[in-house]
Amino acid sequence: MNIIFKKDTWQEIYYSLKNNKLRTFLTMIGVGWGMFLYVVLLGSAKGMENGFDKLFSGFATNSIFLWAQNTSIPYEGFPKGRGMDLKLQDIDMLQRKISEIEYISPKNSRGNFGTAGEQMSRNGKTATYSLNGDYPIGNKISEKKLIYGRYLNDADVSQNKNVAVIGEEVYKNFFDSKKNENPIGKSINVKGIFFNVIGVFRVKRGGGMDNDQTVFIPLSTFTKIYNDGDNVDVFAIVSKPNADVNDVEDRVKDELKKKNKVSPEDTNAFGSFNLGKEFKKLTGFLTGMQLLTIIVGTLTILAGVIAISNILLITVKERTKEIGIRRALGAKPSEVRNQILLESVVITLSSGLLGFIFGIFVLMIFNTLTQNQDDFPFYNPTVNYGNVFSAMSVMVILGLIIGMIPAQRAVKIRPIEALRSD
C-alpha cells in the first residue's frame, strides 16, 4: 500500500493521536496491559519451572521410595500384623521380573524414619548425626555436591571399608572450616570405630531429600556394625525414562506380596512414596499456569483492541467533515479505509510494544530479587520470543479486523452529507 510510504499519512496519524492524547493513552492502556500481563505471567511461569528444575537438579524425579510395614489382612494361615522385611536379594528378583526398572538403591539409616541418630566424635567434640549406609548408585538418585574428595565407590562396599562421606555441618563441627582444613584422610569416631573421611558434601537449601548433618558409609559396613544381615530399610527404585512410574510402583508391591505370601488386597504391607507421580502433578500445574496465562493475556489484549475500535468510531464521527472534504477533493474510498486501518494498527502495535518492554523490565526485577534465593523455587524468568511474536501478530490481525468497523463507517460517509454536518 503506497499510503504507508506517504509522509502526509504519518503526519495525519500523529496529529490525530496528539489531539486526543488522554483518550488515546487510556485506550492504549488496555492493549498494553494485556501484553504486560502476558509477558509477566508467562515469564513467571517459566521462572517457576526453571526454579523447580534447579531445585530437583541432580535428583531422579522418576523414583519411588519403598519400605516394609505390617500386614493388615490375614492370608494363607498367617495372621494380620505380621512384620515385613526388605532383603538385598529382593533387588535382583525385582530387576529380573520388572524390566521397566532402571536401578534400585538400598539404604539403611539411623536418625531417619523415626529412629535415633548416632553419636560421633573427634578430638573431644561429640555430636549426634544421621548415619546412612548406602551404595554408590545412591548418589545417582540424590546427587551430592562434593566440596572435598569423592563419594562411595564399589570397592568401598565390596571390601567393607571404614570410610565416610560427611555433610558440611558435620565438617564444620569436627574440623577447622575457617582455615579450610582439608579433612580427607582424617578420621571421625562412630560407635567406637574410626572412619576415614573420603568426602564432604553440601546440600542446597530446600533441595533433595538429604541434609548436611548426615554421614554416609558403605551399606556393607553399616550392616556389620548393626548386625542387620541382609535386611534393608528403604529401596529407592528408579524407573526407565519412558516407563509408567505408577505401574512400576504397583508391580513392585505385587511381586513383594507374592514372595512374602501377603494378600493382594493388603495395602499396608509395604509403604511407598512415589516422587515421579508427585513431580508429574507439579509439572502439570506449571503447564496449566502457562495455559491460563495465554488465555488471560489473549482475552485482555482482545478487550483492549475492541476498545481501540470504539475510540476510532468516535474519532471517525468527529472527523466527519474532514473525511468529507478529502472525499470531495478526490480521495478514494480505499485511501480513507486504509488510513483508519493504519491508525488502528499503529495504536495496537505501539501499545503491545510498550506492554512488552515494561513486562521484560518487571521480569528483570524479579530475577534480580530472586537471584540467590535457593529456598524459593524461582529462577531465570524468561519469555519465549516466538510466543511474543505470535501474540504481536494476533494483536495486529485483531487490530485490522476490528479496525474494519470504523474504517467501513468512514468509507460510507458521503461528501455532501459530511460537509452539511454540524
Pairing of strands 101-110, 118-122: unpaired
* Radius of gyration for the chain, computed over Cα atoms and rounded to the nearest angstrom: 34
Mean pLDDT (the chain, rounded):
81
Q: Which stretch, 20-29, 75-84, 284-293, 330-339, has highest mean pLDDT?
A: 75-84
Q: How confident is the model at residue 378 (pLDDT cuts 50, 70, 90)?
A: confident
Q: What crossing angle do the helices spanning 385-411 and 275-318 adopt, rounded to 10°?
A: 20
pLDDT at residue 7, rounded to an integer: 60
Question: 7: Cβ–Cβ under 8 A, 6 or more apart, which residues?
Answer: none
State how far the Cα of 52 lies from the Cα of 55, in Å rounded to an integer.
5
Lowest mean pLDDT among 76-90, 107-121, 125-139, 322-336: 322-336
Q: How confident is the model at residue 178 (pLDDT cuts 50, 70, 90)?
A: confident
Q: Phi then psi for 193, rounded to 5 degrees?
A: -115, 135
Task: Establish how many alpha carbons lie within 13 A of residue 420's alpha carbon, considering only the half-sphere containing its beta carbon.
Answer: 5
Which cell goes with 81?
500384623
The cell 548408585 sits on which residue?
Answer: 137
Q: What is the pTM of this model?
A: 0.70
Lowest mean pLDDT among 45-59, 109-123, 174-188, 266-280: 45-59
Which cell goes with 149?
574428595
- State whether residue 166 is helix, strand or coil: strand
Q: Do residues 355 and 31 lie in contact, with contact meaning Cβ atoms separated by under 8 Å?
A: yes
pLDDT of residue 72 exceeding 90, the answer is yes
Q: What is the pLDDT of residues 227-276, one digit of tens each?
A: 999 999 999 999 998 889 999 999 999 999 999 999 999 999 999 999 88
Identify which has the larger pLDDT, 201 or 204. Answer: 201
3-state class percentages of the chain: helix first, strand second, coil last, to nearest 5: 55, 20, 25
pLDDT at residue 120, rounded to an integer: 95
Q: Which stretch, 137-146, 181-190, 408-417, has highest mean pLDDT?
A: 181-190
Can you tell me the mean pLDDT for 91-109?
Answer: 93
DSSP letter assigned to residue 84: P
Identify which of 149, 146, 231 has the alpha carbon closest to the alpha carbon of residue 195: 149
Q: How confident is the model at residue 314 (pLDDT cuts 50, 70, 90)?
A: low
- Enclosing H/E stretch for 86: strand 86-87
Q: Do residues 221 and 162 lie in contact, with contact meaning Cβ atoms separated by under 8 Å?
A: yes
Q: How confident is the model at residue 13 (pLDDT cuts 50, 70, 90)?
A: low
pLDDT at residue 177, rounded to an integer: 85
Q: How confident is the model at residue 164 (pLDDT cuts 50, 70, 90)?
A: very high
Which cell goes with 240?
526407565
pLDDT of residue 167 exceeding 80, the answer is yes
Pairing of strands 63-68, 163-167: unpaired
pLDDT of residue 125 exceeding 80, the answer is yes
